[in-house]
Amino acid sequence: MTSSLTYKDYLRVDTLLSLQVPRTRDTADTAVVLAEHFFIVAHQTCELWLKQIIADLGAAANALSPELGSDEPELSAEFLQRATELFRVLHEQLLTLEKLPLRLFAEFRPYLDTASGAESVQFRSLTDLLGDDADPGRLYEAFCAATAHRGTSPAEVCRAGVQTGVHHRIAELLLDIGNAYWRWKVAHLALMSRTLGDLPGTGGTSGASYLAQRLTLPFGELRVLRGQVHDDFARNHEG
């Protein structure tokens, strides 16, 4: 059976490549326009990867949730493994923005007006999944429910380690994701500080200090449990 579907049509390449519209295109020289174009591409790509990460983390939570009729930890682990790698992609992509010349950023930055990354709806969705200092997040809550459904708990998973099989792997993957998320946010803070110093950010934020206040390390309870296991091993060794 023949098909008329092409690569360009399948990926909607023409539409995709039409979405980068620098606001400086009619008012600045080529270097400024290309710098803004690079800035737009970097942030649009970030939003695309965030879309995939959120979808994968949401699917991982669903696969763990007994209340949804699911008990598929191996499937959840697959989604978590991919999300871990995608956070690394986000981190590496962010580092490319260090190649945005400061003089060119300063020239096109006023055209951003009040637009700010703090307005990202997807970032808030990611926070809901991963949690913060006040909220464990939907993903960790699903892990707790999954372990309870199997007659155990995150604390027991941490104590028993590899003996708990896939739930141990999921706990390790959650920590990997939390660390990768942290590195990505720290890199963003470092980039902002390097570029703007103490200047305020767009959208009325305080810039680097605003980002520093929002730095959180997900899965705090899991980290505490791991620390307790470490102390137990240390005491047993001393005894």
Q: Is the pLDDT of residue 158 over 80?
A: yes
Query: How big is the CA angle at 192 (ends 188 and 194), to the nearest 5 degrees?
Result: 115
Interval 156-176 mean pLDDT: 96
Inform me whether the pLDDT recorded for 231 exceeds 70: yes
Q: How is domain 23-238 classified at the CATH fold level?
A: Methane Monooxygenase Hydroxylase; Chain G, domain 1 (1.20.58)
Render pLDDT for 196-223 as a digit per residue (tens, 0 to 9): 777 665 655 555 666 666 778 999 999 9
Collapsing DSSP to helix, strand or coil, 18 comes out as: coil
Closest CA to 140 of 222, 215, 67, 237: 222
Q: What is the pLDDT of residue 110?
A: 92
Q: Contact, 186 vs 163, CB < 8 A?
A: no
Distances, alpha carbon 218 to alpha carbons 76, 94, 173, 175, in Å:
18, 20, 12, 8
pLDDT at 155 over 70: yes
Q: Give the residue-averaged pLDDT of 152-171.
A: 95
Q: Domain limits of the chain?
A: 23-238
Q: Each residue of 87-142: pLDDT tens digit?
A: 999 999 999 999 999 999 999 999 998 888 778 899 889 999 999 888 999 999 99
In this prediction, residue 207 carries a pLDDT of 57
Amino acid at 113: D
The pTM for the full model equals 0.89
What's the confidence (pLDDT) of residue 42? Answer: 95
Nearest residue to 171 (alpha-carbon basis) of 37, 237, 76: 76
